[in-house]
Amino acid sequence: MMTNVLIIEDDPMVAELNRTFVESIPNMNVIESFRNVEEGKKYFRQKNADLLLLDVYMPGESGIHFLSWLRQQGNDIPVILITAADDIETIKNVIRYGALDYLIKPFTLQRFQLAIEKYLAFSQTIQTTEKADQKLIDQVFNHTTPIHEAPSFIDLPKGLSKLTLKKISASILKEETIFSTKELAQKSALSRISVKKYLNFLVEQDILNERIRYLEIGRPLTCYELTKNGRKKLTDYC
C-alpha cells in the first residue's frame, strides 16, 4: 500500500532533497510540495495525506503555527519536523502538538531513514493493534526493534540500511532470470557499489547464488539468482 507524503518547505533545494529521500523508499510517494503554510492550509481544508514533512522557519506563518492549526482542526496526521530550529521553546511546542520526530538540518540519510522507520512502525501499530503492552509502546515511542519486521531483518552489517535493503529486495523479486549488479543498480536507481554490498549480504544469507557468466569479449561477469528458498526469505525484507 502506497504511503502519500506531503512536504511543506520553503527552500526548493531542501524540498527536492526530501522528495528524493522519500521516493527512494519502497511504497512511498510525495503527492504535493508547498513552500509556505498558506498553501498547506488550502490543501488540508479539502484533502489529507498519510505523512507530513514540515519546516519551521518559512515566510509568513511558521511551521509551529501550522502544526497547531492542524491539531485545532482535529487533523492527527503524523508529522516529522525537518528544520534548522534548535531552540528549546520550538522543541517544547513540537512535543506539545504531537510531532512524531524532529530532524535538525543538516541531517543524514541514515537519520532520515530512522524517522521513516519510526513512522512505519507507528502506522503498522495503529492499523493492526487494538491494545498495547509496554513492549509495543517502547517500540513506537523509543524506536526499539520494529514490530513490523521479521527477526532476521533486525541486525544488518554496519553500513547497510534496512530501507535500502527493502528497495533492493523489491527489485530482485521482479527478476525472472539471473541478473548482474549493473542491471539491478539501474532498476533500483542506486549505485553499483552500493548494490554490490547488499548482494554480498544476500549471498551470505543464502538468499542469492552467485553465477559466472562468460562473455565472448572481456572478463567474466558475476551474476545472481535466487536460491531455492530465496524468494520466500526475501519477501520478509519487503
Q: d(Cα 116, Cα 110) in Å, to the nearest integer?
A: 10
* Domains of the chain with CATH codes: 3-123 (3.40.50.2300), 152-235 (1.10.10.10)
The count of C-alpha atoms lying within 13 angstroms of the C-alpha of 190, restricted to the half-sphere facing its C-beta, is 26
Q: Is 116 helix (H, G, I), strand (E, B) or coil?
A: helix
* 190: pLDDT strictly greater than 90: no
Of 16, 14, 61, residue with least CA distance to 42 = 61
Terminal alpha carbon distance of the chain: 12
% of the chain beyond a pLDDT of 70: 92
What is the model's pTM? 0.64
Q: Given this model, what pLDDT does residue 144 score?
A: 53
Q: Do you know the residue count of the chain?
A: 238
Place of cell 527512494: 24
Average pLDDT of the segment spanning 98-118: 89
Average pLDDT of the segment spanning 45-68: 96
Question: For residue range 63-98, what is the model confidence (pLDDT) as tens digits?
Answer: 999 999 999 999 999 999 999 999 999 999 999 999
Q: d(Cα 85, Cα 62) in Å, to the nearest integer?
A: 11
The H or E element that residue 28 is part of is strand 28-34
